[in-house]
């Protein structure tokens, strides 16, 4: 049976920032069981505003969040005069040494490795509240300056925090999956031609642990809640809702795996280029998309006579992603429009025409466009638009393997346009 700590902080409360619905619900359950008043937000921006409005006693934050990640959120807290003494716990997979340095540089007071043990989390909370009071009295201040990967970092931490962190890192290290160790060994023996793939795989391993496990955490988390909350009761609407979430999580898991397989194949499949009719291919792709959503009415315009010299299977995969995104992100406008065409206007430096896919949907902040084609990077939450963040990185790999380039232009709420060129038309 779980031990309950009797926190007594008067009107004080704890604040959490967590974009995963499952993790947020588990945190809420954890706070309630332990008689802790709490407020939970699904992004760092809203959580920071809430902290400014009403400073909490302690903050727990995920690292990977849309809009403002956990490092930026923690930095804002620790550099604000009225908030800097609030202890901050970051939830992390600790999959990269730089994660640790970034967290300490941001002023994080502790790391909790997902999935976390609730008793351990309680002990960390207890310690940090006491440590906060000690720090206010002037104890434990020190500055450590280190150089890592050619960069200099200044870290304000006490010895106990650093020791706790090192123990957490060691614990995470000894639980590493054997397959990842074998993969690391294989990467070490790759030749120079595979260096780019090596860097890409490291970025993949750094992020996939968060995204790949999230749907499974949903299955496990809600199952545990049902067992605990509905053991002696008949299924009601809440229980049915949990079951529906389990189903959606499983489907998201399947989609993510499929997208990862496509991403992998896009980099290893042998290119068999031939003349193809892109106009016909785009119409076929749009027909399949519309068949899956027959209730939607979208004005789709596909320019005639679009041809290319490319691999048909890979180009179909690219168009399926680009047109599918245009369909998805225009889903909340009154008169959605999608245009696939070709232009030479403004792109004379390419010495050829450029293809484009345009929509009038949600759009995004164009200043972040350089991050758009990185694996697992998303500018919208799953509550806004479902997705895995793998599709555009797959498209980029396909286009570059054909000797071309891809880029995007957009504004929030004003749609987006994706341009791409091909090396041999």
> How many domains, the chain?
3
Asked if residue 6 belongs to a domain, the reply is no
Q: How confident is the model at residue 341 (pLDDT cuts 50, 70, 90)?
A: very high
Q: Are residues 249 and 279 in the same domain?
A: no
Q: Is the pLDDT confidence value at 167 over 50?
A: yes
- The pairing of strands 14-17 and 38-41 is parallel
Residue 139 — very low, low, confident or very high, per pLDDT cuts 50/70/90? very low
Other CB atoms within 10 Å distance of the CB of residue 355 = 25
Cβ atoms of 121 and 112 within 8 Å: the answer is yes
Q: Which of 60-69, 89-98, 196-205, 361-370 has the lowest mean pLDDT?
A: 196-205
365: confidence class by pLDDT, cuts 50, 70, 90: confident
Asked whether residue 166 falls in the same domain as residue 183, the answer is no
- 97-103 average pLDDT score: 77
The pLDDT of residue 140: 45
pLDDT bracket for residue 85 (50, 70, 90): confident
Model pLDDT, residue 327: 86
- How far apart CA 378 and CA 65 sit, in angstroms, is 9
Q: How many CA atoms does the CB half-sphere of 355 hold within 13 Å?
A: 27
Question: Do 369 and 312 share a structural domain?
Answer: yes
> What ranges in 137-177 are assigned the alpha helix state H?
159-174
Question: Same domain, yes or no, for 27 and 154?
Answer: yes
Does residue 411 lie in a domain region?
yes
Backbone region of residue 222 per phi and psi (left: phi > 0; alpha: psi in -120 to 50; beta: other values): alpha
This prediction's pTM? 0.42
pLDDT value of residue 256: 67
In a domain, 3, yes or no: no
CATH number for 243? 1.10.287.130
Q: In this structure, are 105 and 128 located in the same domain? A: yes
Closest Cα to residue 98, out of 152, 173, 148?
A: 148
Average pLDDT rounded to a whole number, residues 296-310: 90
What are the tokens at 111?
């790391």
| β-pair partners for 420 | 355, 406
CATH, residue 343: 3.30.565.10
First and final C-alpha spacing in the chain: 67
Same domain, 288 and 215: no
* Average pLDDT of the chain, as a whole number: 76
Residue 165 has pLDDT above 60, yes or no: no
Which of 4-13, 31-40, 133-142, 391-400 shows the lowest mean pLDDT across its residues? 133-142
Q: Which comes out higher in pLDDT, residue 255 or 369?
A: 369
Give pLDDT, residue 15.
96
Tell me if 1 is assigned to some domain: no
Q: Say which CATH number the domain at 151 has.
A: 3.40.50.2300
**What residue spans of 231-390 are helical by DSSP H?**
237-268, 278-292, 312-329
Six-digit token pair at 15?
């604040």
- Higher-scoring residue by pLDDT: 415, 423: 415
Asked which of 22-36, 206-220, 314-328 is least confident by mean pLDDT, the reply is 206-220
Query: Are residue 257 and residue 313 in the same domain, yes or no?
Result: no
The Cα–Cα gap between 37 and 18 comes to 16
Tell me how crowded residue 201 is: count the other CB atoms within 10 A of its CB. Answer: 17
Could you say which of 227, 250, 268 is where a domain stops?
A: 268
pLDDT score at 67: 86
One domain, residues 37 and 146 = yes
Q: Which one of 232, 247, 268 terminates a domain?
A: 268
Does residue 348 share a domain with residue 280? yes
What mean pLDDT do residues 306-331 have? 87
- Axis crossing angle, helix 97-105 with helix 159-174, rounded to the nearest 10: 160
Residue 118, CA distances (Å) to 23, 92, 114, 115, 358 in order: 12, 15, 11, 9, 48
Backbone angles phi, psi at 359, to 5 degrees: -140, 170
Helices 70-78/44-53 angle, 10° precision:
20
Q: Are residues 36 and 165 in the same domain?
A: yes
Report the pLDDT averaged over residues 213-235: 68
The closest alpha carbon to 115, from 37, 57, 39, 62, belongs to 62
Do residues 383 and 362 lie in contact, with contact meaning Cβ atoms separated by under 8 Å? no
Tokens of 357: 């896919």
Highest-scoring range by mean pLDDT, 70-79, 117-126, 141-150, 256-265: 70-79
Rounded Cα distance between 12 and 10, Å, is 5
Q: Mean pLDDT throughout 357-379? A: 77
Residue 138 maps to a domain: yes
Compute the distance between CA of residue 339 and CA of residue 355 in angstroms, rounded to an integer.
Answer: 11
Instruction: Residue 380: give the domain boundaries.
Output: 274-420
As a whole number of angstroms, the distance between CA 198 and CA 232 comes to 52
Q: How confident is the model at residue 46 (pLDDT cuts 50, 70, 90)?
A: very high
- pLDDT for 254 equals 62
Q: Has residue 144 got a pLDDT over 90?
A: no
Strands 337-343 and 354-359: antiparallel
Question: For 123-138, what is each residue's pLDDT tens digit?
Answer: 888 877 876 655 554 4
Residue 2 forms part of a structural domain = no
Report the DSSP beta bridge partners of residue 154: 145
In the prediction, which pLDDT does 381 show?
59
Task: Tell me the C-alpha distance between 153 and 285, whole Å.
Answer: 50
Residue 9 lies in a domain: no
Q: What is the pLDDT of residue 5?
A: 45
Residues 40 and 107 in one domain: yes
Phi, psi (5° rounding) for residue 300? -110, 125
**Domain annotation covers residue 425:** no
The last residue of a domain, from among 249, 268, 287: 268
Same domain, 169 and 21: yes
Cis peptide upstream of residue 344 (ω within 30 degrees of 0): no
The pLDDT value given to residue 117: 79
| SS3 state at 252 | helix
64-78, 160-174, 182-196: which has the highest mean pLDDT?
64-78
């Amino acid at each position: 049976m779980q031990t309950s700590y009797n926190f007594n902080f008067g009107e004080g409360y704890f604040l959490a920032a967590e974009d995963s619905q499952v993790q947020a619900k588990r945190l809420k359950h954890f706070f309630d069981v332990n008689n802790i008043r709490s407020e939970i937000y699904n992004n760092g921006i809203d959580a920071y505003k809430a902290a400014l409005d009403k400073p909490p006693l302690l903050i727990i934050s995920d690292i990977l969040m849309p809009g403002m990640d956990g490092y930026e959120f923690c930095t804002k807290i620790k550099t604000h005069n009225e908030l800097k003494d609030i202890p901050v716990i970051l939830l992390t997979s600790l999959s990269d040494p730089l994660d640790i340095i970034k967290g300490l540089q941001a002023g994080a007071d502790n790391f909790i490795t997902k999935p976390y043990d609730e008793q351990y989390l309680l002990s960390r909370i207890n310690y940090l509240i006491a440590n906060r009071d000690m720090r206010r009295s002037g104890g434990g201040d020190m500055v450590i300056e280190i150089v890592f990967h050619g960069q200099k970092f200044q870290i304000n931490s006490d010895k106990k925090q650093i020791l706790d962190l090192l123990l957490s890192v060691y614990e995470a290290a000894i639980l590493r999956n054997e397959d990842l160790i074998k993969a690391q060994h294989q990467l070490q023996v790759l030749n120079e031609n595979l260096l780019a793939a090596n860097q890409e795989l490291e970025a993949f391993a750094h992020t996939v642990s968060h995204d790949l496990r999230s749907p499974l955490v949903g299955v496990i988390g809600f199952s545990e809640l049902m067992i605990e909350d509905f053991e002696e009761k008949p299924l009601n609407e809440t229980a049915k809702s949990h079951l529906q979430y389990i189903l959606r999580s499983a489907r998201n898991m399947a989609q993510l795996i499929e997208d990862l397989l496509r991403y992998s194949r896009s980099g290893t499949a042998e290119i068999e280029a031939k003349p193809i009719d892109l106009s016909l291919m785009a119409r076929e792709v749009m027909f399949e998309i519309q068949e899956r959503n027959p209730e939607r009415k979208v004005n789709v315009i596909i320019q005639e006579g679009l041809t290319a010299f490319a691999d048909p299977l890979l180009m179909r995969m690219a168009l399926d992603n680009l047109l599918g995104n245009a369909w998805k992100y225009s889903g909340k406008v009154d008169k959605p429009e999608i245009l696939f065409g070709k232009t030479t206007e403004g792109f004379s430096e390419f010495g050829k025409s450029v293809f484009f896919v345009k929509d009038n949907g949600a759009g995004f902040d164009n200043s972040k466009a350089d991050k758009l084609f990185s694996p697992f990077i998303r500018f919208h939450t799953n509550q806004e638009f479902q997705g895995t963040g793998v599709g555009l990185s797959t498209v980029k790999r396909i286009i570059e393997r054909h000797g071309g380039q891809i880029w995007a232009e957009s504004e929030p709420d004003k749609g987006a346009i994706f341009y791409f060129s091909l090396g041999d038309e």
